[in-house]
Amino acid sequence: MSWVKYLVVFKSKSSIHIGYRQVSFLKTTRYYIPGTTITGAISSVVSKLLYDKPNLDTYNKVDSFIKTNVKPTYFYPSIILNDTNGLSSIDLTIDEQNYIVFLPEYRNNGLNYGNLTKEEFEQIFITSFVSTAMNPKTKSSEEGSLHETELIKNKVKIKNKIFDVYWIGYLFFNINSSKDNISLKKENEKIVISNNSNSVNFNDILENLQLGGERNYGFGLMDLILFSFDKSDSIFNNWYVDINDEIVFKFKDQNTTTIFNHLEIKQGNNIKYIYGELEPLISLIWSEKGPGHKISKPKICLTPGTKLEGTYNLILNENGILSIDLK
């Protein structure tokens, strides 16, 4: 295997909903974009661009190929802010812009996003909209159909200034891979995916992504701002990356580890201390009936932002799920 790392920056064209939990009639959102959302959206676009008449069989082949050969970190909201004014988080200097990335981290006061508490983050970034289904016969709302959906804004107001919301993450590509007549190659700085009939530049794929739920309302639209080959040996300025047959992350601080994706807990893991949350990770996947008709096998995971005591090497797996390197 020959992996390469690309830095990806999207700019929100519209608010976004990443399905999380439903509380009564409220559909809550995650405050980040998980890897399964990224790879699922990529698989959907690739199927349509590579095949003239995509079907369930071609989608399954593409989805399997993408999960194996395109591995994402999670994507996190960010803003461009020259004067941090107490909001300083992790600074990524990209194209002479300072992106302040709101990564989750559990601290003594609970879950934080960058230097914002969860409550402060929600006040700035989270909004909602209310919708209901209409009864075509009575021309009125159907009983029990009212629901409210949380959204992450595409523009936020901080200290009386308006800022665009960006999403930053990384994609790792296994170049020169091929299966089921699908292949992935790096041509100069471009990543190209092909089958026997068509060839598509990954820039075109990422420019066509619409992420998250409630897309019929126009949510989740993105502008691709940056898709760039990244030669550095780190991500989010806190982790070293060791790329060989596997993608392994090593934390720069030798005393504690704060994870940036879900970390699957398996038998034999020797974790000394956990400061965060456990979550059974389950998703709705494709079946012969179409998307969302089958439940995936659950994984017991630590959530992003969880802090571990000690030093760990973490392996990046399908859909961005991390596991502890036991070697």
Digit-coded pLDDT (tens) for 35-81 = 999 999 999 999 999 988 888 888 889 999 999 999 999 999 999 87
pLDDT at 99: 82
pLDDT at 147: 72
Which residues are CB-contacts of 302 (< 8 A; sequence separation ≥ 6)? 259, 262, 263, 265, 274, 276, 277, 278, 279, 308
pLDDT at 23: 76
Six-digit token string for 186: 């790096």
pLDDT at 136: 52
Closest listed residue to residue 100, CA positions, set 66, 121, 76, 127: 76
pLDDT at 144: 52
DSSP secondary structure letters along 59-93 = HHHHHHHHHHHEEEPPBEEEEE-SS-TT---EEEE
Closest listed residue to residue 256, CA positions, set 305, 300, 322, 301: 305
User: How does residue 161 score in pLDDT terms, banded at 50, 70 and 90?
Assistant: confident
Q: Where are the domains of the chain?
A: 2-232
Specify the higher pLDDT residue, 327 or 164.
Answer: 164
The answer to whether 132 touches 141, Cβ cutoff 8 Å, is yes
User: How does residue 173 score in pLDDT terms, banded at 50, 70 and 90?
Assistant: very high
Q: Is the pLDDT of residue 141 over 50?
A: no
The four Cα atoms 121, 123, 124, 125 give a dihedral, to 10 degrees, of 70
Q: Is the pLDDT of residue 110 over 80?
A: yes
Which of 134-138, 148-152, 290-294 reaches the highest mean pLDDT?
148-152
pLDDT at 60: 87
Between CA 286 and CA 293 the distance in angstroms is: 6
Q: What is the pLDDT of residues 79-92, one digit of tens each?
A: 987 654 445 444 45
Q: Is the pLDDT of residue 140 over 60?
A: no
pLDDT at 160: 83
User: How does residue 128 score in pLDDT terms, banded at 50, 70 and 90?
Assistant: confident
Specify the higher pLDDT residue, 254 or 136.
Answer: 254
Q: Is the pLDDT of residue 95 over 60?
A: no
pLDDT at 80: 85
pLDDT at 290: 59
Q: What's the whole-model pTM score?
A: 0.88
Give the chain's mean pLDDT.
84
Between CA 46 and CA 186 the distance in angstroms is: 16
